[in-house]
Amino acid sequence: MPELPETETIARDLDAALRGAVIDAVTVVRGDVLREATAAAFVRVVRGSRITSVNRRAKSIVVALQSHFLVVTPRFTGALLLTEPADDRYTCLHLALADGRTLRYHDIRRLGTVALHDAARHAAWDSALGPEPLDLALDADAFWHALRSSRQAIKTLLMDQRKLAGVGNIYANEALWRAGIRPTRAGKSLRRLEVGGLLDALRAVLTESIALRGTTFRDFQDAYGVRGGFAAKLAVYGRGGQHCHRCCTPLRATHRLAGRQTVWCATCQR
DNA sequence: AGGGGAACCCGTACGC
DNA sequence: TGCGTACGGGTTCCCC
């Protein structure tokens, strides 16, 4: 479930730890996590290359090499680990660094992916994604325009990576509760003022979660195997049937909206 | 075009 | 207790 705050946590740690590191040896243990490259091509490109930076885009960690990019999308159980995992059976990729450290891509359920991009492919991938919510270049007017053409539910739109990058189920639920907006409202029904409030709420919850190194609901761990601290701060996600922190009404929960867990307060979300 | 649904994967939860 | 099955979850791909 790593969304924006969780992948941001991983990327910041890895950037500090890996900038300038050289990858000496590559072992592909579970080749089915690879995308856009065969195991042989992956080894050929990655072996001997230097890591120039590590960043985040949407819910992916982007490891920049000299000429290529590794785009790691952990999905539910994927992790980029600098420490020895508790169970090495789930190591999919093993990168030995010249300084003696090891970077592993570890994934129990293997729905996560590691793609290899050259510069042109990476630019195309990047341009297909929507704006970053924490980028101040995205203003409420632009966001309002992006939403007002759609009949889809606002919660579905928040999670549409072409419209906005990095927001998944947890933070979509949380931002809508904070903004007092019902998840099922059609995008085009939102007024300009409501969209401004929603963007403010979204930025606040993402920023607070990053400060606590993300939400570990079940599986998320950072590069050192440590859990995030934001789960205790969640107002609605995973709290169906419990009381709303604002008005004490029992929170409603459904899976009907795009098949995902949606939790909201029918009293204070309109 | 835009939206809906299946596939991907396997640990966990649950039923018998 | 032990086995079998349903489920979840984001993205991609396919189809209507």
Is the pLDDT confidence value at A259 over 80? Answer: no
Q: Which of A127, A153, A188 is the last residue in one of the domains?
A: A127
Do A225 and A119 reside in the same domain of the chain? no
Is the pLDDT confidence value at A258 over 90? Answer: no
* Nearest nt to the A217 alpha carbon by C1': C9
Q: Which of A127, A155, A186 is the last residue in one of the domains?
A: A127
Percentage of chain A lying above the pLDDT 70 cut: 99
Model confidence at A214, in pLDDT bands (50, 70, 90)? confident
Domain count, chain A: 2
A252 touches strand C (CB under 7 A): no
A185 touches strand B (CB under 7 A): no
pLDDT of A86: 85
A76 touches strand C (CB under 7 A): yes
Give a yes or no: residue A134 inside a domain: no
CATH code of the domain covering residue A54: 3.20.190.10
Q: Which nucleotides of C are covered by protein (CB under 7 A)?
A: 8-12
Do A154 and A200 reside in the same domain of the chain? yes
- Tell the burial category of A232 from Cβ atoms under 10 Å away from its Cβ (0-12, 13-18, 19+): exposed
Do A120 and A76 reside in the same domain of the chain? yes
* First-to-final CA distance of chain A: 27
A235 touches strand B (CB under 7 A): no
Measure, in angstroms, how far nucleotide B14 C1' is from residue A86 CA: 27
Do A202 and A109 reside in the same domain of the chain? no
Is the pLDDT confidence value at A176 over 90? Answer: yes
Model confidence at A196, in pLDDT bands (50, 70, 90)? very high
Question: How far is Cα A41 from Cα A80, in angstroms, rounded to an integer?
Answer: 21
Is the pLDDT confidence value at A257 over 80? Answer: no
pLDDT of A146: 87
A1 touches strand C (CB under 7 A): yes
Of A12, A59, A182, A213, catalytic: A59
Do A194 and A260 reside in the same domain of the chain? yes
Task: Report the candidate in A27, A4, A43, A30 with the shortest Cα–Cα distance to residue A112.
Answer: A30
Do A155 and A237 reside in the same domain of the chain? yes
A159 touches strand C (CB under 7 A): yes
* Nearest nt to the A255 alpha carbon by C1': C8
Mean of pLDDT values over A189-210: 94
Average pLDDT, chain A: 92
Q: Which of A96, A127, A158 is the last residue in one of the domains?
A: A127
Is the pLDDT confidence value at A255 over 80? Answer: no
Question: How far is Cα A24 from Cα A48, in angstroms, rounded to an integer?
Answer: 5
Tens of pLDDT, residue by residue over A53-93, are 999 999 999 999 999 999 999 998 999 999 998 889 999 99
Burial string for A105-116 (b: 16+ CB within 10 Å, else e) reads: bbbbeeebbbbb
Query: Which residue approaches B11 most closely, CA to C1'?
Result: A109
Do A156 and A46 reside in the same domain of the chain? no
Measure, in angstroms, how far nucleotide B6 C1' is from residue A259 CA: 13
Q: By residue range, what is the domain housing residue A112?
A: 4-127
Residue A260: active-site member: yes
Tens of pLDDT, residue by residue over A85-144, are 888 999 999 999 999 999 999 999 999 999 999 999 999 899 989 999 999 999 999 999
Give a yes or no: residue A76 inside a domain: yes
pLDDT of A25: 97
What's the Cα-to-Cα distance from A232 to each of A9, A17, A92, A146, rounded to whole Å? Answer: 17, 28, 31, 32
A29 touches strand B (CB under 7 A): no
pLDDT of A131: 92
Strand partners, A117: A69
Residue A2: active-site member: yes
Tens of pLDDT, residue by residue over A29-41, are 999 999 999 999 9
